[in-house]
Amino acid sequence: MSAAETVPSSDKTPSSEDRAALPRNVGPYTLFELIGRGGMAEIYLARRETDLGATRRAVVKQILPAFADDPRFSEMLTHEAKLAARLSHQNIVQVDDLGRDGDALYIAMEYVEGFDLGALLRKCSESKRPLPLEYALGIVADVLHALEHAHRRTGDDGEPLGIVHRDVSPTNVLISFEGEVKLCDFGIANANALVRSDDANEALMGKAGYMSPEHARGDKIDARADVFATGIMLWELIAGRRLYKPKGELPLIEQARRAEIPKLPDKGLPQQARLYAIVKRALAPLLPERYPSAGAMLRDLEEYMASAGLLANRIKLGEWLEQSFGKELIESRRASERRLPKGAAVASKSDHPPSPTTDEPVAPEADGGASGGASTAASSASIREARHLPMSQGAIRAFKRELESSPSMPLELDVSVHMPGGEPPGSLDAATMELPPASDPHTAADASQPIVAPARPSRLPLVLVAAGLLVVIAIAALMGR
């Protein structure tokens, strides 16, 4: 689950009364800004401070009491934290902690300072500022990197975990001011070993506008459902509008079942037929005709980007994002944090002793999947198993309302193509783009690599220079004797 999941609609924005109650402590975290609210949780920007004064920001999702007291929901949240502990990748938001503080159930996540893709597209539309196509393609490529890692993740026994995200959509794609792209909200992901397949609400877990046809029908799904959802995002970025009409004659879920994909308009893009073929295969309604994996789609997309001269650079993406939209947001966040009293987070430790569920944060495994890291044994998380009891009807109704409600607003999206050393060969003209309103997402870490990363520079020359200096010093010492 993520901040992006509980996106505040226009009638759920934080009120002045809500903000007046801040800062306050939850577990080891000091909450100082309410950045989102949904049907299941409130999302806060928080700070954690150690006994020695070191601080770091985090995003804390505090579950609403109707869900926090529900054993079935607590079980789902526990499963999420254990699942997230196995997903350690530069394009996936890291879950840091899960615990209780009195009656409050919370989950703490990496803070990504920037926007989710839905909010970014909205800002582009409102400001009439085009989103360069190379950045749009680079964002999709990073989402595919994240999915390939999750899909290939294995358990301690070496068997695939069968992870499916189920909710790949613009509000769950976070883009930082450092140019990092991260996929969040594996909270409704389905790991075969962790989630029972007979859950009555399984077919509801996801946004209908980004569902594959088999997902919308309630059939068993696999990684190809996430490929389809990514294909929808790519189609929308190129077309400049929603694939399925939220206010059409048919409900979104029925449109998703039918999967009637309109032909993309002619945009005059470089090697356009090749790009459109990638989109068409990703959105194939029949599973045998679709890309078999996120990695397969990623290979075709990156080859196209290289051939068309549309390779995106992560540093330039971050600079463009910050210069275009970031200054006001960053200053607002810093001002909120400056108002915090010193030592507030340390005081929370004595005011709220940690419960048995928070003795130890959820620890990630070393990346042994798509990113190529060495595989290690899974780190244990001290999270108490919730009892296997049915979810209350009130919670189920609230859960349905949260998932089925997808408020949208008319937008105009203009996506342009920038080619190095020449005039743009074409542009994606403005069109109506309807996206669910989004809250400000969490935070970023390292952003030194471009979206399509080149090979790292070799350190061999530095090693040789150092070795040569040591030899010269040793010879000089001998001659001095």
Q: Residue 305 belongs to a domain with what CATH number?
A: 1.10.510.10
Give Cα 424 to chain centroid, integer Å.
30
CA atoms within 13 A on the CB side of 347: 10
Q: 327 pLDDT band (50/70/90 cuts)?
A: confident
Least confident residue range of 161-175, 275-289, 339-353, 386-400: 386-400
Q: 248 pLDDT band (50/70/90 cuts)?
A: confident
Residue 226 forms part of a structural domain: yes
Mean of per-residue pLDDT scores for the chain: 73
Please give the pLDDT value at position 147: 97
Q: 342 pLDDT band (50/70/90 cuts)?
A: low
Residue 481 forms part of a structural domain: no
- Using alpha carbons, select from 256, 248, 245, 164 the residue that is nearest to residue 208: 256
- Using alpha carbons, select from 113, 135, 61 the residue that is nearest to residue 314: 135
Q: Residue 14 in contact with residue 48, Cβ under 8 Å?
A: no
Residue 446 forms part of a structural domain: no
pLDDT tens per residue, range 91-125? 999 888 888 888 888 889 899 989 899 999 999 99
Please give the pLDDT value at position 20: 52
Please give the pLDDT value at position 156: 87
Least confident residue range of 158-162, 187-191, 273-277: 187-191
Residue 440 forms part of a structural domain: no
% of the chain beyond a pLDDT of 90:
38
In the block, tokens 């009293």 appear at 341
Please give the pLDDT value at position 343: 55
Helix axes 133-152, 294-308, angle to 10 degrees: 150
User: What is d(CA 15, CA 94) in angstroms, rounded to the nearest whole number?
Assistant: 29
Please give the pLDDT value at position 409: 38
Please give the pLDDT value at position 454: 36
Residue 446 has pLDDT above 70, yes or no: no
Structure tokens at 43: 């999302």
User: What is d(CA 181, CA 302) in angstroms, rounded to the nearest whole number?
Assistant: 16
Please give the pLDDT value at position 304: 98
For the segment 80-89, the average pLDDT, to the nearest whole number, is 80
Please give the pLDDT value at position 419: 45
Residue 90 has pLDDT above 90, yes or no: yes
Residue 4 forms part of a structural domain: no
Q: Name the residue with higher pLDDT: 178 or 78.
A: 178
Please give the pLDDT value at position 161: 86
For the segment 334-348, the average pLDDT, to the nearest whole number, is 59
Residue 328 has pLDDT above 50, yes or no: yes
Please give the pLDDT value at position 217: 93
Q: Name the residue with higher pLDDT: 285 or 69.
A: 285
% of the chain beyond a pLDDT of 70:
61
Total number of domains constituting the chain: 1
pLDDT tens per residue, range 130-188? 899 999 999 999 999 999 999 999 988 999 888 899 889 999 999 999 999 999 887 55
pLDDT tens per residue, range 3-27? 333 333 333 444 445 555 888 999 9
Helices (H), 177-222: 213-216
Residue 365 has pLDDT above 90, yes or no: no
Q: State which residues form the domain around 187.
A: 16-432
Please give the pLDDT value at position 277: 98
The partner residues of 443 in beta bridges, in order of sequence, read 112
Q: Which residues are catalytic?
A: 167
Please give the pLDDT value at position 341: 64
3-state SS record for 133-156 = HHHHHHHHHHHHHHHHHHHHCECC
Is residue 110 classed as helix, strand or coil in its secondary structure? coil
Residue 189 has pLDDT above 70, yes or no: no
Residue 88 forms part of a structural domain: yes
For the segment 61-78, the average pLDDT, to the nearest whole number, is 80
Residue 449 forms part of a structural domain: no
Q: 268 pLDDT band (50/70/90 cuts)?
A: very high
Residue 456 forms part of a structural domain: no
